[in-house]
Structure 1
Amino acid sequence: MAPVPLTVPRRALDIVVALALLVLLSPLLLFLTVLVRTTSGRPTVFRQQRMGEGAREFTLYKFRTMRPDATGPGLTSGSDPRVTGTGRLLRRFALDELPQLFNVLRGDMTLVGPRPEPAELARRFPPEYQWMFRHRPGLTGPCQLHSRSHAALLNGMPDPEEYYLSVMVPRRAAMNAELLAHITLTTVVRYLARTLWYLLSAAWDRSGGSSGRPGGDATRRTEEGRSLCVRS
């Protein structure tokens, strides 16, 4: 699948913003590393193969938010029992996503774009929506800003993956198409500002936010089997 490369200005912005945030947030990253390890053990960081630009797979990094022995569907609902107490807090404020700044810096991801889908699930996408995998996935974007409501839709679904593929993927494709048709540096900056507001709004969201997100870090294998750290 032919990739759609980023423009030079967008790639430059990715590098500058990712580097700046990694430096500024380094104390928080260290604190979260200790928090996850203290409250739920090792591994601290979870990794998963996601579908990247040009349908090339890459390893996505996140703080682990599920039990080490968790198994189940490849999607995470808003009330998923596999999520730990600490994991719910991290997910509510999207703090588990911070390690993806390394993915942005490496060029696996960009700041704003389609949500990176788990590779196993992406291969099952209907053909008419495979075009999304020509583009570099984003740390944030229109789908990511609907993560709480999208995760809630999966609650109680007997087959969440089938529902996601048949109902939610067309909706996400429409949002991504609108974004990609008009994306500029101004669009990127605007989405970063909207993302900050979205994260801050979780502080007074009485529903408790989302404990999970479609396409989250659950797979049919255990999380620790794909983590960055060796289980001790």
Structure 2
Amino acid sequence: MSTLTGDATETTLSLAFVPAWVVIAKALGLYDRDHRRLRHLTVDELPSLFAWTLTGTAGLTLVLAARPVESFVQLRLAIFGSALLTAFALRSSARFLWRRITPRERTLIVGGGRLAKAAQRKLELFPDIHASLIGVISVDAAMGRRQISAHWLRDVDRVILASSTIREQFLSDLVVSCRESHTKLSVVPPLRSMFGSASRLSRVSDLTVIEYNTWDVSESTLVLKRAMDFCSALVALTVLLPVAVLIALVIRLGGPGPILFRQLRAGQLGRPFQMYKFRTMVPDAEARLSEVVSLEQLREPMFKLKRDPRVTRVGRVLRRTSMDELPQLVNVLKGQMSLVGPRPEQVDLVERYDCEHRFVLAVKPGLTGPMQVFGRGNLTFEERLAVERDYIENLSLGRDFRILAMTIAAVFNRQGAF
């Protein structure tokens, strides 16, 4: 009789668990898509997916508690881990299919000058925005609500207003026109320094307030970041040691020369350190540099030679898979680098930085970072500094996890690897 009662209780809890989990997913916004947003990434949903999986595991624990199970703790961990990975994979697959099936947003940029060029450049750099640029027009050409509605908004899904001077009446008319035609509207602020990455918009009743915070990361965040770096690097080196030994053996059999490539790089606050990588070039690569590149090209801060003839066959494979950077885990263990951070730059280049550029030296350089996932080899020097400044001003462990997840995707997609 007690067995039948236990089975009935377990069945009731199981039936109640499924709709409850769906309601929780809805409450966390996993079934909603904010159409106002210009960019949607699955990694941005990781906190919600984590919370949803955690509550689901807790619910399953209540269901399973009705029947004794051996290794209960291990079972809960297995359920949590597999559910989180499955949810992330399904969300990523669904978003991938959605982008393949649905047409891109027909996007019109209204404005001119550097802001319009910056908006156009971002649409080119980030194809996951899922937008198709259909034109760029000046504000003067777009003046007047009737003209905007008649000529452009009928066949436009989104308008991006990017102008250094925005007239209040024009913006008001544009908002009304977009609302009537169900066209999405995005505005690039004219004062980018005021509306920078460290600023946040908040509201006090109907008053909009811009809150700007200078970079101020708590000591606890930095301590946890260092602990995560050390533990992750130690585990990764232990797991990948056989792979590292195999790579070293292949490099040695491929010809003469050292297995590791050492180069002086600028660390936190500009302090120099020896950075390690697996050697991917011929031993006399530095001596042969003048044969393949001009002095003018070397002066470019972001110059990177594509199809470099000095790269060995093994080196091409290592660079394509980013496995040449595996020894940098030693730099992470030694505290010279972090798992995530700005790009470790050469000392001679850092010496040419001005005061604004030296901001990126405020934190430790990273094994990966915003440059590797937001454009990789396609960014200009100023664009790279912008994304790294954004990372530093908004430094958090959650963002580090996001960049690590995006790095794995970028490596598999072979983006920016020469």
Say yes or no: TM over 0.5: yes
Amino acid at match of 1:42: G
Question: Number of matched residues?
Answer: 186
Query: Does the Cα contact within 8 Å between 2:270 and 2:350 map onto a contact in 1?
Result: no
Amino acid at match of 1:15: F
Listed one character per residue, the Cα deviations across residues 95-135 of structure 1 (whole Å, up to 9, x for unaligned) are 10000000011100001110000112221223421121222
- Structure 2 match to 1:197: 409
- Structure 2 match to 1:214: none
| d(CA) in 2 for partners of 1:200, 1:169 | 25
CA distance 1:193–1:80, change in 2 (3 Å): same
Amino acid at match of 1:191: I
Question: Does residue 183 in structure 1 map to residue 395 in structure 2?
Answer: yes
Matching of residues 145-224 of structure 1 within 5 Å: 145=373, 146-150=375-379, 168-202=380-414, 210-211=417-418
| d(CA) in 2 for partners of 1:76, 1:33 | 25
- Structure 2 match to 1:221: none
- Structure 1 match to 2:235: 20
CA distance 1:149–1:41, change in 2 (3 Å): farther
Amino acid at match of 1:53: Q
- Structure 2 match to 1:67: 282
Query: Does the Cα contact within 8 Å between 1:40 and 1:84 map onto a contact in 2?
Result: no
Q: 2:336 aligns with which of 66, 87, 108?
A: 108
| d(CA) in 2 for partners of 1:64, 1:147 | 21
| d(CA) in 2 for partners of 1:76, 1:178 | 23
| d(CA) in 1 for partners of 2:278, 2:236 | 16
| d(CA) in 2 for partners of 1:197, 1:121 | 29
TM-score after normalising by structure 1:
0.75
| d(CA) in 2 for partners of 1:36, 1:141 | 27
Greater relative contact order (CA < 8 Å, ≥ 6 in sequence): 1
Query: Does the Cα contact within 8 Å between 1:112 and 1:139 map onto a contact in 2?
Result: yes
| d(CA) in 1 for partners of 2:323, 2:255 | 16
| d(CA) in 1 for partners of 2:262, 2:370 | 23
RMSD: 1.9
Question: Does residue 121 in structure 1 map to residue 349 in structure 2?
Answer: yes
Listed one character per residue, the Cα deviations across residues 176-227 of structure 1 (whole Å, up to 9, x for unaligned) are 011111121111111111111111222xx7xxx632xxxxxxxxxxxxxxxx
| d(CA) in 2 for partners of 1:87, 1:76 | 15
Amino acid at match of 1:169: F
CA distance 1:144–1:78, change in 2 (3 Å): same
Q: 1:139 aligns with which of 367, 373, 376?
A: 367
Q: Kindly name which structure, 1 or 2, has the bigger radius of gyration based on alpha carbons.
A: 2
Gaps of 5+ in 1: 151-167, 212-232
TM-score after normalising by structure 2:
0.42
| d(CA) in 1 for partners of 2:333, 2:271 | 17
- Structure 2 match to 1:77: 305
Gaps of 5+ in 2: 1-216
SS at match of 1:116: coil
SS at match of 2:410: helix
Query: Does the Cα contact within 8 Å between 2:360 and 2:392 map onto a contact in 1?
Result: no
Q: 1:93 aligns with which of 321, 324, 338?
A: 321
Q: Tell me the CA shift for residue 144 of structure 1.
A: 2.1
Q: 1:31 aligns with which of 236, 243, 246?
A: 246
| d(CA) in 1 for partners of 2:417, 2:396 | 29
Query: Does the Cα contact within 8 Å between 1:14 and 1:110 map onto a contact in 2?
Result: yes
SS at match of 1:40: coil
| d(CA) in 1 for partners of 2:417, 2:398 | 28
Q: Tell me the CA shift for residue 141 of structure 1.
A: 0.8
| d(CA) in 2 for partners of 1:115, 1:200 | 20
| d(CA) in 2 for partners of 1:133, 1:181 | 12
Query: Does the Cα contact within 8 Å between 2:318 and 2:324 map onto a contact in 1?
Result: yes
